[in-house]
Structure 1
């Protein structure tokens, strides 16, 4: 009964989420990936241009937060395959609107050892066209289930990314995009490895 209730609730979130993200487009294959500079949760400076100088590619993904079971599963899958991804010359970066405190919870749940970045001000999400502002009714609905998006983000507004994955080649161009407003759909590790 508990799982049925959770499935029902998540289904409602999918319907609301899909309706509220129609304006989001993401970036496309072949586009130049916007450069960004940020500190990850360990204090390491993450500079896309510098990462591409030292690696064959960067796998950049956006996730909603430590409270999202689909995000945690995706991160865990990436962590479980990190050795294979690194062996193909890929550097993995996860971006979330959540605060560093919430990122710590993600790391506890997933054992992620790759870079996770708090996108304070949503600059990276905006550059990659994955940001969306939750309608007040949706943000309030999440709160009834114990998820305060604005608080988790350390902000006054409730902003989430469309969960998306980009593979950025050494030339700085995007060579793979997984962008789907259905937050349950993510790029598989198998798919990513095949394209590296």
Structure 2
């Protein structure tokens, strides 16, 4: 009964979340990917333009946080397939609004060995048009389940990305987009490998 109630409430959250993120469109296939430069959670300098000089493509994905089981599942799938992705010349980068401390928890859960970036100030998310501010009622509902999004992000407001995956080609253009306001839907490894 408890699981049924939780499933029902999560379904309500999906509907509310979908309504609050409809204005977000993400970037489209063929768009030039905005360059970004940041340090990943290991202190490594990550620059999209440099990555594209050194690799055939970049798989850039946005995830909500270590508290999200769908994010953790997707990250595990990427990690499990990292050798196949790398063999096709792809460099994998994850972007999240969560703090480096929370990224450490993500890495513990998923064993992720690729770059994860804390997007403080949400600039990368904004440039890729995936950011949204949670409505207070939704943020409060998450808090009632022990998920304080703002605190997890080390911020005053609860900002999340629409979970999205972009495959960026050597020419800097987006070759593949998975963008869906339903946070349960993610790009499959098969879809990603097909475009690499």
Length-normalised TM-score, structure 2: 0.99
Match of 2:102 in 1: 102
Structure 1 Cα separation of the partners of residues 157 and 88 of structure 2:
38
Partner deviation per Cα, 1:12-34 (whole Å, 9 max, x = no partner): 11011101001000001111000
What is the correspondence of 1:32-181 to structure 2 with a 5 Å cutoff?
32-181=32-181
Structure 2 Cα separation of the partners of residues 13 and 188 of structure 1:
23
Shift of 1:8: 1.6
Shift of 1:37: 0.2
Structure 2 Cα separation of the partners of residues 48 and 62 of structure 1:
15
* Length, aligned pairs only: 196
Aligned residues: CA RMSD: 0.7
Shift of 1:4: 1.9
Structure 1 Cα separation of the partners of residues 157 and 46 of structure 2:
25
Shift of 1:6: 2.7
Secondary structure (helix, strand or coil) at the match of 2:129 reads coil
Structure 1: tracts of 5 or more residues without a match: none
Structure 2: tracts of 5 or more residues without a match: none
- Segments of 4+ in structure 1 off by > 4 A? none
Shift of 1:71: 0.4
Secondary structure (helix, strand or coil) at the match of 2:121 reads helix
Secondary structure (helix, strand or coil) at the match of 2:93 reads strand
Secondary structure (helix, strand or coil) at the match of 1:58 reads strand
Shift of 1:111: 0.5
